[in-house]
């Protein structure tokens, strides 16, 4: 049964993540945003502490957290710097998850262990210029050759694409079979024909890199096929179910940061002879913000709990992402409003939170896609 109270371990992991976020992740976040600077140093530190292999079992080099603890840790890191949290979310819920559940023992030893130990960073390459929401439309082609496959195509919007050491890549191995002809590969950094292009100049999440990847006659050996040939779309969809918990947790973290900044500011700022927190219109905003953040967190915890219990959580993770991302956008917009003109300039953090929040409604399935996922699950039930 889903309970809102955390276990002692979950509470401790959240508090540990909060401390690390404050001490190691927050410092320099303003400058990293301004300079669009990716910090490998911070990821190395987080990796040493187990944050790059949170849900991977200890025998495979990970920290062995449950999904609830994972979501709480992502929330805390996102509160300090959402750009860092997206790297963790992609690595933990997409890349590591696929390898943990679908890689063979040799692949786990070679690829999953260094990821889980925080030595390597991973990316997840599904999106293409013509395959975003409609993910079945993979135009990257993998052609069979002696001992492996030759990949050709273009990937788009790849988080950590420039800095990743290992890349999970989906490609069409049999176009006639449509989505049942998609296969999952792992491509190592530096492989000939694998070329990350210039980083995108983004509105938010500026300290994480996002790029397109040109794939030209890129040879990938048979031993780098993850799962079986033709099973790739299932891996993509199943991993995204869990990925959406990470993004929802990230959205809650951004919203919490904006809310706390707003309360602090509202207590300090005086208008009409009193702190603005004493004005009912500000109180109304804060009450709405608080209620929606609480509701979002509960949806995240419910989805994560069901994942931990090995129950079907497809609807739950889509609901958590849809609601939490809308909340993050609304809360950060109101935070800017509460700050007035000060909210619109870089001296205060809320304008960054507003910019960072928007993409949570877009990546790992837009809000519109989440409504489709929810509605399809509902139709199966009723």
Binding mask 277-316 for ligand COS (x = CB under 6 A): -------------------------------------x--
Does residue 136 touch ligand COS according to CB under 6 A?
yes
Does residue 228 touch ligand COS according to CB under 6 A?
no
Does residue 233 touch ligand COS according to CB under 6 A?
yes
Of 213-221, 268-276, 338-346, 361-369, the window that binds ligand COS (rule: CB under 6 A) is 361-369
Using DSSP's 3-state secondary structure scheme, residue 196 falls into strand
- Binding-site size for ligand COS (CB under 6 A) equals 19
123 φψ region: left (φ > 0), alpha (ψ -120 to 50), beta (else): beta
Does residue 248 touch ligand COS according to CB under 6 A?
no
Contact residue for ligand COS among 135, 184, 249, 349 (CB under 6 A): 135
Cβ(174)–Cβ(181) below 8 Å: yes
| Residues numbered 144-183 forming contacts with ligand COS, rule: CB under 6 A | 179
Contact residue for ligand COS among 93, 127, 140, 224 (CB under 6 A): 127
Is 11 assigned a catalytic role? no
Contact residue for ligand COS among 16, 49, 237, 263 (CB under 6 A): 237
| DSSP string computed for 96-108 | IHHHHHHS-HHHI
CA proximity to 367, closest of 252, 247, 254, 250: 247
> Among residues 76, 256, 334, 364, which one is catalytic?
364
| DSSP string computed for 13-28 | HHHHHHHHIIIIISTT
CA proximity to 156, closest of 129, 185, 184: 129
Task: Indicate the residue whose CB is closest to ligand COS.
Answer: 365
Does residue 378 touch ligand COS according to CB under 6 A?
no
| DSSP string computed for 313-368 | -HHHHHHHHHHHHHHHHHHHHHHHHHHGGGGGSTTSTHHHHHHHHHGGGTTTS-HH
Query: Which two three-digit tokens encode residue 154?
Result: 């273009």
Minimum distance, C-beta of residue 370 to ligand COS, in the bound complex (Å): 9
For the chain, what's the residue count? Answer: 382
Calpha distance 323→325 (Å, rounded) = 6
Rg (CA), the chain: 21
Contact residue for ligand COS among 281, 372, 375, 378 (CB under 6 A): 372
What does the binding site for ligand COS look like in residue numbers (CB under 6 A)? 126-127, 132-133, 135-136, 179, 233, 237-238, 240-241, 314, 363-365, 369, 372-373
Report the catalytic residues: 364
């Amino acid at each position: 049964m889903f309970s809102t109270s955390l276990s002692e371990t979950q509470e401790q992991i959240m508090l540990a993540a909060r401390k690390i976020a404050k001490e190691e992740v927050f410092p320099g976040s303003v400058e990293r945003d301004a300079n669009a600077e990716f910090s490998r140093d911070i990821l190395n530190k987080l990796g040493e502490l187990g944050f790059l292999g949170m849900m991977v079992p200890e025998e495979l080099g990970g920290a062995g957290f449950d999904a609830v603890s994972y979501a709480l840790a992502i929330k805390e890191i996102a509160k300090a710097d959402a750009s860092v949290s997206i790297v963790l979310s992609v690595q933990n819920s997409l890349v590591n998850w696929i390898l943990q559940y679908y890689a063979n023992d040799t692949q786990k030893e070679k690829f999953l262990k260094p990821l889980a130990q925080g030595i390597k960073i991973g990316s997840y390459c599904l999106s293409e210029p013509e395959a975003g929401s409609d993910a079945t439309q993979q135009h990257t082609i993998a052609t069979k050759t002696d001992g492996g496959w030759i990949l050709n195509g273009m990937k788009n919007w790849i988080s950590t694409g420039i800095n990743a050491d290992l890349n999970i890549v989906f490609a069409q191995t049999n176009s006639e079979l449509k989505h049942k002809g998609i296969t999952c590969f792992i491509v190592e950094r530096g492989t000939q024909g694998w070329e990350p292009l210039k980083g995108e100049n983004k509105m938010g999440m500026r300290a994480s890199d996002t790029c397109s990847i040109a794939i030209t006659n890129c040879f990938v050996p048979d031993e780098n096929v993850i799962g079986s040939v033709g099973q790739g779309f299932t891996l993509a969809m199943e991993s995204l179910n869990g990925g959406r918990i990470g993004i929802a947790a990230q959205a809650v973290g951004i919203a919490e940061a904006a809310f706390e900044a707003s309360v602090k500011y509202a207590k300090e700022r005086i208008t009409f002879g009193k702190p603005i927190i004493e004005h009912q219109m500000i109180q109304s905003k804060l009450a709405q913000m608080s209620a929606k953040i609480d509701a979002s967190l509960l949806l995240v915890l419910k989805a994560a709990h069901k994942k931990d219990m090995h129950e079907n959580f497809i609807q739950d993770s889509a609901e958590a992402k849809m609601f939490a991302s809308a909340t993050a956008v609304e809360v950060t917009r109101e935070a800017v409003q509460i700050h007035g003109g000060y909210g619109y300039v870089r001296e205060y953090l809320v304008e960054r939170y507003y910019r960072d929040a928007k993409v949570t409604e877009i990546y790992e399935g837009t809000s519109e896609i989440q409504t489709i996922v929810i509605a399809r699950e509902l139709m199966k039930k009723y």
